[in-house]
A = this chain, B = another copy of it.
Amino acid sequence: MIADEMYALAKRLWPINRSLTGDGVRQTLKILQCQLPELTMHEVPTHTKVFDWTVPREWRVRDAWIKTPRGERICEFQKNNLHLMGYSVPVRATLDWATLNEHLYSLPDQPTAIPYVTSYYQERWGFCLSHEQRNGLDRKGKYEVYIDAELFDGHLTYGDLIIPGRSSQEVLLSTYVCHPSMANNELSGPIVATFLARWLAATPNRRYTYRFVFIPETIGSIVYLSRHLDSLKSSVIAGFNISCVGDDRSYSYLPSRSGNTLSDRVALHVLKWIDPNFRRFSWLDRGSDERQYCAPGVDLPIASIMRTKYAEYPEYHTSLDSLERVVTPKGLFGGYEALRRALEAIEANVCAKVTVLGEPQLGKRGLYPTISTKETARNVRTMMNFLTYADGINSLLDIAELGNVPIWDLYEYVETFEKNGLITIESSNS
């Protein structure tokens, strides 16, 4: 059910022409606001200095196409926004094939795919098309090229959402809204983030405050950090960059720069129990906004839980990364569940301390089978492992790792043991 809702929302967002800036981002955020009324939209003016960067001009596209010598319109932006190179400058010209060809982008190795190409920081124009189509172009005659676009001083747009908890300590969830019509990278991120926010908002008695950030990649996280760095550095205790969470082919982990934050430990634990064959990447394989969140001097504890990682599947950054071909309801739900379990684990990661010396007598509390055979001895073991490691130093995550069980198997015991006075609880965020 959630799976289907997620997929339906993805379909709705699919055709929008998102980019670093522009109305596509605004339309996307407005649709998300229907799900998350508290989501706030922010506008940052072009030319604003942000750390080492400057907010670029806003890009607006109305139409774009090529007319062939035979009068056929191809590479129509209206039909597939990938046909137009991102941030293309306007052009209206008649060209021969050779000149046009310098502005065409295709993939010889994937002849049916339209590649995704952008030129944010160098003025260019270009069209992207399948290699098959390109090979079929007449080399004689004139081509008409039409790009009705403008680059102008406007704004960069992003959204954020705070879901407060008992503590002002925060968990940061960041995803991006700057990719045109591609599915795993990247409609899956904002979809999963949206449903995580819905789940959290509906979960009573949250321990931590949750901050969701919907931004354009790179420049967006740099903008966000430049505006909130000090407060994020003092309050964020864990978090995840959410990208490529929509296909059902694998699970993947990419660490924070240090590799040993709470986010890393939780991600590794959750993925190990969800899918023992999950793929473990290194910081050298990074490629999304963790590059900013974990930069030296920023040093936020942000790791990535993904399905199949960007640059690791053949459809990546092409028109083949579609809702029909790559992303599925099951894939989206799997990405959601992995992250939901990770957030749940962060919430549950208390520090328990057994209140008695020596092993507790479970029997007098009705927790122990009253006859000792080979059989019943095994049944008691799970409880006893919890209690033996509940030394007031180990966190629940430590106890789960030491006892070799998923942390969610322990949630009921935290409650039972605390009710029985067998443990006391302190909070922990390590």
A164, CB-defined interface residue at 8 Å: no
Whether B357 and A297, one on each chain, are in contact in the complex, defined by CB atoms closer than 8 angstroms, is yes
The verdict on A370 contacting B121 (CB below 8 Å), with A53-B358, A296-B388 known, is: yes
Residue-wise, chain A 279-310 has the 8 Å CB interface mask toward B (1 for contact) of 00001101100011011111000000000000
When distances are taken between beta carbons in the complex, the residues of chain B under 8 Å from A381 are 284
Is A152 on the interface with B (CB-CB < 8 A)? Answer: no
**Using an 8 Å CB-CB cutoff, how does the interface string of A219-232 with B read, 1 for contact, 0 for none?**
00110011001000
CA distance A226 to B361 in the complex (A): 14
Q: Choose from B115, B257, B283, B359 the contact partner of A292 (Cβ within 8 Å).
A: B359
- In the complex, whether A122 has a CB less than 8 A from a CB of chain B is yes
Cross-chain contact B52 with A119 (CB below 8 angstroms):
no
- Supply 23 A–B pairs (Cβ within 8 Å), ascending by A: A50-B358, A52-B357, A52-B359, A52-B360, A117-B371, A118-B372, A120-B372, A121-B368, A225-B357, A229-B357, A284-B385, A284-B403, A286-B388, A287-B377, A291-B359, A291-B384, A294-B388, A295-B354, A296-B353, A296-B354, A297-B391, A298-B357, A317-B374
A392 interface residue per 8 A CB criterion: yes
CB-defined interface of A349-380 with B at 8 Å, one 1/0 digit per residue?
00001101111110110001011111001000
Complex: chain B residue closest to A391, CB-CB: B296
Across the two chains, which residue of chain B brings its CB closest to A392? B296
Decide if A8 is an interface residue (CB 8 Å cutoff): no
- Interface contact B371-A122, CB-CB below 8 Å: yes
Shortest Cβ gap from A391 to chain B (Å): 4
Separation of A414 and B292 alpha carbons in the complex (Å):
21
